[in-house]
């Protein structure tokens, strides 16, 4: 193994830069040549490659986004696109590719592996929706961003004695809503993993009012539906003044937390260790404190686990 490449793909997440930095610096430390590929798989197909040195990843550990840019690439989902990507890597004499991204990115990595390319995947997405890993890079930062927003919204919700619906990201996963709701004391949390029943939500809110609560925050994961629509439903059913905030893409930005920087640094370095010991076609997962290689095929077919007990706890504590 002499020459490796790294790319980021799919939605960016805070901490991707720290992962790139770790791949580059650990690779150089072991005498590897490291190539950065810009714009994910789209850039790979176009041959957007540059040689990385120690300085090229200076001053990025604290920055959100990705220095290598990212893209969602439809063409790379086709056998022609994948063959073109593999051909580019061979043209450049690249022995292995580190892919930082989510499940779509790992499907791309699996296709490259099938074409004989050595690959290692690093889970980077705010959604925390990748099987076989407790955490993905960026999730912790996104949750902290949501909590900060909830705290601010609560100030005005308390002052006006209003009900607020706050919609958060997560695609089909409720992890951001669940953990931010637990940590932010949301009165109700709506996630795709639990059926949404309006009467139940209203009953919870009513119960709060009866015990003297004058405001409430309902956290809605985007996988459940539009916050705006749910706000209207609550308003129609109760006659209350409901305000809706959609946090949107601000959840994807910002300086990564210490947790995400450390996780990304560890995962980036571990990717190099795996490649040097000849372990490829894997995704890196974190289980407890331990980093583990997981066969990429297994990672893609394993159903995602979800800790319902935390959701129930949030419900108990917010009564």
126 annotated to bind ligand: yes
Give the HSE-up count for residue 185: Cα atoms under 13 Å, Cβ half-sphere: 10
Tell me: does residue 167 bind ligand F6P (CB under 6 A): no
> Is 89 or 126 the residue whose CB approaches ligand F6P more closely?
126
Query: Which span sits near ligand F6P by CB under 6 A: 40-48, 157-165, 166-174, 189-197?
Result: 166-174
Tell me: does residue 39 bind ligand F6P (CB under 6 A): no
Q: 176 and 150 in contact (C-beta within 8 Å)? A: no
Q: 133 and 286 in contact (C-beta within 8 Å)? A: yes
- Among 7, 11, 68, 191, which residue interacts with ligand F6P (rule: CB under 6 A)? 11
What is the closest distance, in whole angstroms, from the C-beta atom of residue 40 to ligand F6P in the complex? 13
Helix (H, G, I), strand (E, B) or coil at 119: strand
Tell me: does residue 3 bind ligand F6P (CB under 6 A): no
Tell me: does residue 252 bind ligand F6P (CB under 6 A): yes
Choose the catalytic residue: 12, 127, 129, 175: 127
222 annotated to bind ligand: yes
Task: Give the separation between CA 261 and CA 251, rounded to whole angstroms.
Answer: 16
- With helix as H, strand as E and coil as C, how does 190-214 read? ECCCCCCCHHHHHHHHHHHHHCCCC
Helix (H, G, I), strand (E, B) or coil at 215: coil
Tell me: does residue 266 bind ligand F6P (CB under 6 A): no
> Is 171 or 304 the residue whose CB approaches ligand F6P more closely?
171
> Is 167 or 187 the residue whose CB approaches ligand F6P more closely?
167
Tell me: does residue 81 bind ligand F6P (CB under 6 A): no
Question: How many C-beta atoms surround the C-beta of residue 79 within 10 A?
Answer: 10
What is the closest distance, in whole angstroms, from the C-beta atom of residue 125 to ligand F6P in the complex? 5
Site for ligand F6P in 176-205 (CB under 6 A): none
Task: Give the separation between CA 299 and CA 284, rounded to whole angstroms.
Answer: 9
Whether 127 is a known active-site residue: answer yes
* Residue 225 Rama label (left phi>0; alpha psi -120 to 50; beta): left
Transcribe 234-281 into DSSP letters: HHHHH---EEEEE-GGGGG-SPPPHHHHHHHHHHHHHHHHHHHTT--S
21 annotated to bind ligand: yes
- Among 44, 126, 190, 219, which residue interacts with ligand F6P (rule: CB under 6 A)? 126
Tell me: does residue 125 bind ligand F6P (CB under 6 A): yes
266 annotated to bind ligand: no
287 annotated to bind ligand: no
> Is 9 or 188 the residue whose CB approaches ligand F6P more closely?
9
Per rule CB under 6 A, count of chain residues that contact ligand F6P: 10
End-to-end CA distance of the chain: 57
Rounded-to-5 percentages of helix, strand, coil across the chain: 45, 20, 35
Q: 298 and 284 in contact (C-beta within 8 Å)? A: no
Q: Residues forming the annotated binding site for ADP?
A: 21-25, 154, 185-187, 211, 213-215
Binding site for ligand F6P (CB under 6 A): 11, 102, 125-127, 169-171, 222, 252
Q: Provide the annotated active-site residues.
A: 127
């Amino acid at each position: 193994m002499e020459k490796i490449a790294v790319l980021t793909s799919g939605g960016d997440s805070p901490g991707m830069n720290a992962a790139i930095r770790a791949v580059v610096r650990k690779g150089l430390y072991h005498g590897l040549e490291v190539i950065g590929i810009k714009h994910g798989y789209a850039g790979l197909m176009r041959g957007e490659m540059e040689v990385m040195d120690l300085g090229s990843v200076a001053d990025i550990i604290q920055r959100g986004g990705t220095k290598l840019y990212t893209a969602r690439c439809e063409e790379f989902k086709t056998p022609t696109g994948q063959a073109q990507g593999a051909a580019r890597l061979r043209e450049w004499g690249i022995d292995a590719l580190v892919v930082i991204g989510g499940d779509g990115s790992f499907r791309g990595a699996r296709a490259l592996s099938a074409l004989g390319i050595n690959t290692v995947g690093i889970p980077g997405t705010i959604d925390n929706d990748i099987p076989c890993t407790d955490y993905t890079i960026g999730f912790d930062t996104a949750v902290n961003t949501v909590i900060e927003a909830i705290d601010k919204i609560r100030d005005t919700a308390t002052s006006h004695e209003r009900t607020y619906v706050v919609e958060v990201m997560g695609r089909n996963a409720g992890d951001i809503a669940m953990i931010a709701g637990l940590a932010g004391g949301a009165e109700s949390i709506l996630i795709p993993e639990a059926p949404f029943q309006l009467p139940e939500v209203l009953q919870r809110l009513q119960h709060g009012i009866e015990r003297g609560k004058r405001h409430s925050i309902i956290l809605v994961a985007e996988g459940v539906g539009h916050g705006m629509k749910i706000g209207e439903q609550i308003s129609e059913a109760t006659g209350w003044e409901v305000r809706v905030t959609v946090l949107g893409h601000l959840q994807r930005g910002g300086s990564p937390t210490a947790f995400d920087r450390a996780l990304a640094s560890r995962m980036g370095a571990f990717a190099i260790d795996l490649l040097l010991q000849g372990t490829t076609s894997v995704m890196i997962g974190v289980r407890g404190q331990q980093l583990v290689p997981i066969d990429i095929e297994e990672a893609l077919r394993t159903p995602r686990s979800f800790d319902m007990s935390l959701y129930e706890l949030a419900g108990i504590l917010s009564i």
